[in-house]
Structures are given as C-alpha cells and as structure tokens.
Amino acid sequence: MAFAFQRGKDRKPEAIFATAVMRQLRALYGARMWETAFPGGLAARSGIPDRLLCIDGRFVALEFKNPNGSGRLGPKQKQEIELLRRSGAIALVVSSAADLDPLFDALPPTQRMIN
C-alpha cells in the first residue's frame, strides 16, 4: 500500500504522514470508523497514542512516528501501548504503510485502496 502525501510548509514529516494515513483509513472504512486525535499538553495523560479509533466495535490506537525512521517510542508510550494490547485493543506504531497490516488483517476494509 502506498500513501501519497506532500510536505506542507513547516509541517513535520510525522504530521504529514499521519494526515495521509488517516485520509486513507477514512476512505477505506467510511462510516464503520470513529476517530479522535488525542491532544497532548500539560493536562493530558502522557504516552497516549496519537489517534484513537473504533472500527466495527474494536478499539484501535495508532502512534505515528516519522516515516524516515528517526522517531522513537518513549517509555510512557511503550507502557501505554502494551497496556492497550493487553486490554484487547489493536495498538500499532505506524511509520510505514506496512505497519498497518495487522489492522487490515483483523478488520478488513470495505473500500479499495486509493492510489
């Protein structure tokens, strides 16, 4: 699967990649998917993945990392992702299209990929 994305002015590669992935997921799952972005900041619980989704009743958490390989999970992020997985969620660290394969295996998309 390939994602087409463009660099925006002053946008980090991770944010550009995440926007492209979420656009694809919306197209693939449509009304079967609910989503929210988890805001960071002082009042936020640290380590929570970037996007929280519900697809066909399954909880999905996506932590986006720079597609050039420079992003790393922090200790709190690792802890939260492991807790989500133990709780039955599909929790993924996404830095390439291939990282979404476990999601597509567990919850096959309705639509075809957009090229």
For residue 70, give the CATH number of its domain. 3.40.1350.10
Whole-number pLDDT of residue 69: 81
Total domains present in the chain: 1
Structural domain of residue 77, as residue ranges?
34-106
Give a yes or no: residue 4 inside a domain.
no
Give a yes or no: residue 82 inside a domain.
yes
Instruction: Give the count of beta carbons closer than 10 Å to the beta carbon of residue 25.
Output: 21
How many Cα neighbours within 13 Å face the side chain of 1?
Answer: 18
Give a yes or no: residue 3 inside a domain.
no
Give a yes or no: residue 62 inside a domain.
yes
* pLDDT tens, residue by residue, 15-51: 999 999 999 999 999 999 999 987 777 777 889 999 9
SS3 (DSSP) at 58? strand
Give the pTM.
Answer: 0.84
Give a yes or no: residue 77 inside a domain.
yes
Whole-number pLDDT of residue 2: 53
> Using CA atoms, how far apart are residues 71 and 57, in angstroms rounded to an integer?
30
Tokens (6 digits) for 47: 């380590």
> Using CA atoms, how far apart are residues 93 and 84, in angstroms rounded to an integer?
12
Give a yes or no: residue 55 inside a domain.
yes
Lowest mean pLDDT among 6-10, 42-46, 79-83: 6-10
* pLDDT tens, residue by residue, 36-45: 987 777 777 8
> Among 109, 26, 114, 21, which Cα is nearest to 67's?
21
Give a yes or no: residue 15 inside a domain.
no
Check residue 100 and report its DSSP letter: G
Higher pLDDT, 11 or 109: 109
> Among 112, 24, 114, 111, which Cα is nearest to 64's?
24
Element containing residue 63 per DSSP (H, E): strand 58-64
